[in-house]
Amino acid sequence: MRYAPITDRLHDLGGDKWAVHNAARARQAQGEDIIELSIGEPDITTDPALVEHCVDALRAGRTRYSNGRGEPGLVDALIETYAPRFPEIGEENVLCFPGTQTALFGVMLALAGDGHGVLTGDPYYATYQGVIRAAGAHLQPVPLRMEHGFIMQPEDLAAAITPDSRVLVLNTPHNPTGAVLTREALEKLGELCVTHDLWIVCDEVYEALIFDGDFVSPLEIEFLRERTVVVSSISKSHAATGFRSGWSIGPVEFSRRLLPISETMLFGNQPFIADMTEAALRQEFDTAERLCEALGRRAALLYETIAPLPMLSAAMPQGGMFLMIDVAKTGLDGERFAWKLLEEEGVAVMPGASFGDSAASLIRVALTVPDDVLLQAVERMGNVCRRLAEEGVSPVGDMALA
Ligand SMILES: Cc1ncc(COP(=O)(O)O)c(C=O)c1O
């Protein structure tokens, strides 16, 4: 049978990146004691009051077709939410989507096509490659270096831009590195976007989860607003990943062009989800605060526990749900270390290579387990390192971990 080229473009993006995670799940299913640090699912539940909003809306018959833009109540709540950053915002700047992921998919279809380049920091969130390729474009990696706190450097961006480049995808706080972009960094990167007439798509899904520094959106920077599209959702801020409720905020002409793409894909969102999301935006919930406090504490704990280990170096994240560890001194790359850690010690982490070539020597650890489990995981990482040192694979240091 014959298939469309998009299926070829995406065929290698599925399982491989998640092979360690999938193997861990399979072992868990067989009853093995596995510490799973491979995915970023908030480890608290959606606020029961928010769930009630959804149930009430369902009972009230909010189960019919919506419209392509989003339910008016939710669109209004989004306008109010973003007005401090984007004073001229009106309904024509807003579109609702089932999650940031779908928003990214639609936005990319509206901004890039065959032969276009889409720049993004490498490492990058695992689905960016698919979203970009689905649009017919290609990903242009801009290395994010540990020595710069994983902040994209203007000279690295400048070196990656080609005449094909159309879009720069930013993500702040960043998955997988936890880096948060400052106003100054955004302005410098933004100046290059102006010079080369690039769109900025900013994935702000972790906005509420910052433990060091302030959140700044390119939407707040006036000279960037005409070329900025923000995508976000309630997935992380309200521990509501399964509700699938997100949005895009962008210029009017852009949103007009995106609307038919969204309509043909979705035929509108779900009114009961929209009502619940409106409540999430309008009312006070402490989910983000609690989650942020736990993630920040665990990041610091993990960072401090890893610091004495000579073979591992951790990068302290400023936000998000993850911490990156460089395992180069073990003599293994991130992929081989992750497999060894799973096979020998039952700890599942993501190999950095799943997020791009420049993270090949790293592993990504999710901070979404209780503190004592995290400490156990570090102890098991220490066991792997100790054995490697005994085998003489890499420089023997003071293996300080008990
Ligand atoms: C950087 C980033 N963008 C987007 C998403 C998807 O978010 P949503 O649940 O809103 O689709 C995730 C989920 O982990 C993410 O890490």
Q: How far is the CA of 239 from the centre of ligand 1 (A)?
A: 12
- How many residues would you count in the chain? 402
Q: Is 203 in the pocket of ligand 1 (CB under 6 A)?
A: yes
Q: How far apart are CA 362 and CA 141, in angstroms?
A: 17
Enclosing H/E stretch for 248: strand 246-249
Of 41, 100, 177, 350, the one to substitute when testing ligand 1's pocket (max ligand atoms within 8 A of C-beta) is 100
Q: How far is the CA of 125 from the centre of ligand 1 (A)?
A: 8
Q: How far apart are CA 27 and CA 343, in angstroms?
A: 10
Q: How far is the CA of 401 from the centre of ligand 1 (A)?
A: 34
- Return the SS3 of 247: strand
Q: How far apart are CA 336 and CA 348, in angstroms?
A: 12
Closest to 383 measured CA to CA, from 349, 328, 342, 335:
342
- Tell me the pTM: 0.94
Q: Which residues contact 246 (CB under 8 A, 6 or more apart)?
A: 96, 97, 98, 99, 100, 101, 102, 103, 205, 231, 232, 233, 234, 235
Of 235, 238, 322, the one to substitute when testing ligand 1's pocket (max ligand atoms within 8 A of C-beta) is 235
Q: How far apart are CA 248 and CA 109, in angstroms?
A: 13
Q: How far is the CA of 253 from the centre of ligand 1 (A)?
A: 25
Q: How far is the CA of 99 from the centre of ligand 1 (A)?
A: 8
Beta pairing, strands 322-326 & 362-366: antiparallel
* Token couple for 265: 């894909």
Residue 317's Cα: distance from chain center in Å? 13
Q: How far apart are CA 35 and CA 365, in angstroms?
A: 11
Question: What is the CA angle 57-59-65, rounded to 5?
Answer: 60
Q: How far is the CA of 41 from the centre of ligand 1 (A)?
A: 10
Q: How far is the CA of 232 from the centre of ligand 1 (A)?
A: 8
273 HSE (CA, 13 A, CB side):
21
In ligand 1, the atom with minimum distance to the C-alpha of 233 is 10
Of 236, 249, 321, the one to substitute when testing ligand 1's pocket (max ligand atoms within 8 A of C-beta) is 236
Position 134: which residue type?
A
The architecture of the domain spanning 48-282 is 3-Layer(aba) Sandwich (3.40)
In ligand 1, the atom with minimum distance to the C-alpha of 245 is 10
In ligand 1, the atom with minimum distance to the C-alpha of 101 is 11
Q: How far apart are CA 132 and CA 109, in angstroms?
A: 8
Q: Are 340 and 267 spatial neighbours (Cβ–Cβ below 8 Å)? A: no
Q: Is 38 in the pocket of ligand 1 (CB under 6 A)?
A: no
Enclosing H/E stretch for 28: helix 19-29
**Given 3.40.50.920, 3.90.1150.10, 3.30.1330.40, 1.10.3130.10, which CATH number is that of 5-41+287-391?**
3.90.1150.10
* Token couple for 363: 């592993």
User: What backbone torsions phi and psi does residue 95 show, to the nearest 5 degrees?
Assistant: -140, 135
Q: Is 205 in the pocket of ligand 1 (CB under 6 A)?
A: yes
What ranges in 42-141 are assigned the alpha helix state H?
A: 48-59, 72-82, 100-111, 128-134
The pLDDT tens digits along the chain (402 residues) read: 999 999 999 988 867 788 999 999 999 999 999 999 998 888 899 999 999 999 999 999 999 999 999 999 999 999 999 999 999 999 999 999 999 999 999 999 999 999 999 999 999 998 999 999 999 999 999 999 999 999 999 999 999 999 999 999 999 999 999 999 999 999 999 999 999 999 999 999 999 999 988 999 999 999 999 999 999 999 999 999 999 999 999 999 999 999 999 999 999 999 999 999 999 999 999 999 999 999 999 999 999 999 999 999 999 999 999 999 999 999 999 999 999 999 999 999 999 999 999 999 999 999 999 999 999 999 999 999 999 998 876 543 433 332
User: What letter does residue 222 receive in the DSSP assignment?
Assistant: G
Closest to 179 measured CA to CA, from 331, 299, 44, 9:
299
Domain ranges of the chain: 5-41+287-391, 48-282
Our CA dihedral for 122, 9, 230, 173, rounded to 10 degrees, sits at: -30
Position 1: which residue type?
M
